[in-house]
Amino acid sequence: MIELKNASFSYGAGSTVRDLSFTIDAGEFVAILGANGAGKTTTVKLIDGLLKPTSGSVLINGKDTAVTRVSERARQVGFLFQNPDQQICRNTVREEIAFGLTAVRGDLGEDGIRARTDEMLREFGFTGEEEPFSLSRGQRQLVALASVLAVQPEVIILDEPTTGLDYLECAHIMDMISRMNREQQMTVIMVCHDMEVVLDYARRALIISGGQLIADGPVEQVFRDEALLARSSILPPQIIGLSLRLGAGFEQVTTAEEAAEAVLRLRTGKEAAE
């Protein structure tokens, strides 16, 4: 469980968040939304303890991040950065995955680490001999994700995981994460600009605007609050935007499928009335 209690962080004129208070339970899938520069990345770095709050506190499983070290927490909390190149530091994909494991999963032993590495390679479809820096950006993002997931963290934080990826790569990564969320109760906290991805995968949304938390609720409910979205410069996913415009008969519509069904339903209703 992650608890933020009035956590604030300020650094010069740059990244600032004020008075953040919220709780994220094990197994949740949370999206953090907001405009560029609203403080989303600062928020997730506070959660991981990469940044220490200048006031207030952040607790992971009851332990204050101000007193524990980030490297010790890596076993519990995995962090996928926006730029995979900052994460990758080995010459082959196999070494890269084993590197993270060796750092935090000494308990597995040499054989355990080898077995776990093989498992991840299979799962992600790598041979292990690829050189990370000759792969495409999307493939490198997958390598970085594989080495984070290999240690089986309780929580994973994703900072714009889909930036620079094409649709298939994006779906591949999100499906993988979504499965770990369902099957192993892994908590997912995701900063994301693609509202369609948020709608498809996340269950709860937090909106940060000007460094403050201005909304917290189920994804769909947040996307239907037009005044709120306008205030935080967020555009709703297309079909929700459409359903807001169409009004009566389309209130519950979130997907193209549902929209088409609503149209058919309303047409039959009209024919019956006539």
Partner 1 sequence: MIRIESFSFTYEGEKAPALEDITLRVEEGGFAGIIGPAGAGKTTLARAVSGIIPHHYPGDYYGRILVGGLDPVDTSLTDLSRIVGMVFQDVESQIVSSVVEDELLYGLENFGVPHEEIPERLETALRQAGIENLRERSIASLSGGQRQKVAIASIIALRPRVLILDEPTGELDPVSSRQIFAMLKTLNEAYGITVIVIEQKIMLLSEFARQLIVLSRGKIAYQGPAREVLSHADELLQLGVNCPRVARLSMLLSERLGKPLPVCVNLDESEAQVRGCLHD
Partner 2 sequence: MRDLFQYVPGNSLIHRLNPVTKIFLTVVICVAAFITDRIPYLLFLLCVDLGIGFAAGVPRKALGILKGLLRIAVFLFVLQALVVRRGTPVFWIFTDTGLVTASKVVLRLIVVCMPLAMVLAVTRISDLANALVQVLHLPYKYAFTLTTAIRFIPQFLEEMGGIMEAQTARGVEFDTKNAFRKLGLMLPLCAPLLISSVRRSEATAVAAEVRGFRLRTRASGYKQYPFAPADLAVLLFSVLLIAGAVLI
Contacts with partner 1 by CB under 8 A lie at 13, 34-37, 82, 136-139, 160, 163-169, 193, 195-196, 233-235, 237-239, 241-242, 245-246, 255-257, 259-260, 263-264, 266-267, 270
- Of 95 and 200, nearer to partner 1 (C-beta) is 200
Task: Round to whole Å and give the CA distance between 50 and 44.
Answer: 9
How far apart (Å, rounded) are the C-alpha atoms in residues 163 and 138? Answer: 9
- Give which of partner 2, partner 1, none residue 131 binds (C-beta under 5 to 8 Å, depending on kind): none
Choosing among partner 2, partner 1, none, which partner's interface includes residue 180 (Cβ < 5 to 8 Å by kind)? none
Distance (Å, whole) CA 33 – CA 45: 15
Compute the distance between CA of residue 226 and CA of residue 245 in angstroms, rounded to an integer.
Answer: 11
Give the residue with the Cβ less far from partner 1, 105 or 172: 172
Contacted by 205, from partner 1, partner 2, none: CB < 5 to 8 Å by type: none
Residue 211 binding: pick among partner 2, partner 1, none (C-beta 5-8 Å cut-off by kind) = none
Comparing CB distances to partner 1, the nearer of 37 and 106 is: 37
Q: Helix (H, G, I), strand (E, B), or coil: what is residue 209? A: strand
Q: Could you say which DSSP state residue 134 is in? A: G
Give the DSSP H/E element, type plus range, for residue 60: strand 55-60
Q: Quote the least distance from Cβ 154 to partner 1, whole Å.
A: 29
Contact 148, 100 (CB under 8 A): yes
Q: Which does 54 bind (CB under 5 to 8 A by kind): partner 1, partner 2, none?
A: none
| DSSP conformational letter for 29 | E
By beta-carbon proximity to partner 2, the closer residue of 83 and 163 is 83
How far apart, in whole angstroms, are the C-alpha atoms of residue 202 and residue 54? Answer: 29
